[in-house]
Amino acid sequence: MQPFELTDLGAGTKEMMLNMGPQHPSTHGVIKFVLRMDGEVVAALDPDVGFLHRSIEKIAEKLSYPDFMPYTDRVDYVAAMNCNFGYARVVEKLMKMEVPKRAEYIRVIVAELNRISSHLVSVGTFGNDIGAVTPFLYAIRDRELINDLLEMLCGARLTYNFVRIGGVAFDLPDTFKEKAIAFLDTLEPKLKEFNTLLSENRIFRERLAGVCVISKEDAVAYGVTGPNLRGSGVDWDLRRDEPYSVYPEVSFEVPVGGGLVGKVGDAFDRYWVRIKEMQESAKIVRQCLEQIPEGPIMAKIPRVLKPPAGDAFDRTEAPRGELGYYLVSDGSSKPQRLKIRTGSFAAVSIIPKIAPGWMIADIVALIGSLDIIAPEIDR
Partner 1 sequence: MHYTLRNKLPSTALFTTVDAVLNWGRLSSLWYLLFGTACCAIELMQTGGPRADLDRFGAVFRSSPRQSDLLIVAGTVTYKMASRIKRLYEQMADPKYVISMGSCSNCGGLFDLGYSVLRGIDKVIPVDVYVPGCPPRPEALTQGLLVLQEKIRKQRYLAREA
Summarize as ranges the residues that interact with ligand SF4 (CB under 6 A): 74, 159
Among 33, 65, 71, 204, binds partner 1 (CB under 8 A): 71
Among 35, 45, 78, 305, binds partner 1 (CB under 8 A): 78
Q: Is 375 in the site for partner 1 (CB under 8 A)?
A: yes
Residue 304: HSE in the Cβ half-sphere, 13 Å Cα cutoff: 7
Residue 47: strand pairing partners: 33
65-73: list long-range contacts, CB under 8 Å, 24+ apart.
65/91, 65/165, 65/305, 65/307, 65/333, 65/334, 65/335, 66/164, 66/165, 66/305, 68/335, 68/338, 69/161, 69/163, 69/164, 69/165, 70/159, 70/161, 73/158, 73/159, 73/160, 73/161
Q: Is 47 in the site for partner 1 (CB under 8 A)?
A: no
* Rounded distance between C-alpha atoms, residue 243 and residue 104, angstroms: 13
Q: Is 62 in the site for partner 1 (CB under 8 A)?
A: yes
Segment lying near partner 1 (by CB under 8 A), choices 49-57, 87-95, 194-202, 259-267: 49-57
Among 59, 209, 301, 360, binds partner 1 (CB under 8 A): 59
Residue 268: HSE in the Cβ half-sphere, 13 Å Cα cutoff: 23
Q: From the list ligand SF4, partner 1, none, pick the one residue 376 interacts with, judged by a Cβ distance below 5 to 8 Å according to partner type.
A: none
Q: From the list ligand SF4, partner 1, none, pick the one residue 51 interacts with, judged by a Cβ distance below 5 to 8 Å according to partner type.
A: partner 1
Backbone angles phi, psi at 246, to 5 degrees: -105, 20
Peptide bond preceding 66: is omega within 30 degrees of 0, i.e. cis? Answer: no
Q: Is 19 in the site for partner 1 (CB under 8 A)?
A: no
Q: From the list ligand SF4, partner 1, none, pick the one residue 179 interacts with, judged by a Cβ distance below 5 to 8 Å according to partner type.
A: none
Number of residues that bind partner 1 (CB under 8 A): 34
Among 20, 29, 99, 273, binds partner 1 (CB under 8 A): 29
* Rounded distance between C-alpha atoms, residue 52 and residue 258, angstroms: 35
Q: Is 332 in the site for partner 1 (CB under 8 A)?
A: no
Query: Could you say which residues in the range 134-173 bind partner 1, by CB under 8 A?
Result: 137, 140-141, 143-144, 147, 157-159
Query: Could you say which residues in the range 205-244 bind partner 1, by CB under 8 A?
Result: none
Q: Nearer to ligand SF4 by C-beta: 26 or 159?
A: 159
Is 168:298 a contact under the CB 8 Å cutoff?
yes
* Rounded distance between C-alpha atoms, residue 195 and residue 112, angstroms: 21
Give the binding site for partner 1 (CB under 8 A).
22-23, 25, 29-30, 50-56, 58-59, 62-63, 70-71, 73-74, 77-78, 121, 137, 140-141, 143-144, 147, 157-159, 374-375
